[in-house]
């Protein structure tokens, strides 16, 4: 029998992992020559505030994706 962590504990554990998934997706897009997606952090952050942090995972993924995207762009200059 496995014990599931409480919702708050699970969210704290997954935040860095979700950010990393977004980061890795951007790097994979770059490595495969794909065009970067244009995710608006401002709109997602606003939606996250309005929804009471219900889309936090999406916001974290997009922050990771955009972080890697900007780093990749800077390295190619």
**Helix, strand, coil % (nearest 5) of the chain?**
75, 0, 25
Whole-angstrom distance, CA of residue 12 vs CA of residue 6: 10
* Tokens, residue 37: 């997606």
Whose structure tokens read 């790097």?
27
3 state SS of 1: coil
Whose structure tokens read 């897009």?
29
* Tokens, residue 66: 């955009």
pLDDT one digit per residue (tens) for the chain, 77 residues: 555 555 455 555 567 899 999 999 999 999 999 999 999 999 998 999 999 999 999 999 999 999 999 999 999 88
Q: What is the pTM of this model?
A: 0.77
């Amino acid at each position: 029998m496995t014990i599931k962590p409480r919702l708050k504990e699970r969210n704290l554990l997954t935040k860095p992992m979700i950010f990393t998934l977004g980061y890795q997706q951007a790097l994979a897009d770059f490595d495969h020559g794909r065009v970067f997606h244009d995710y608006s952090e401002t709109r997602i952050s606003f939606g996250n505030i309005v929804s009471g942090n219900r889309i936090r995972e999406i916001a974290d993924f997009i922050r990771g994706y955009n972080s890697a995207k900007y780093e990749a762009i800077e390295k190619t200059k």
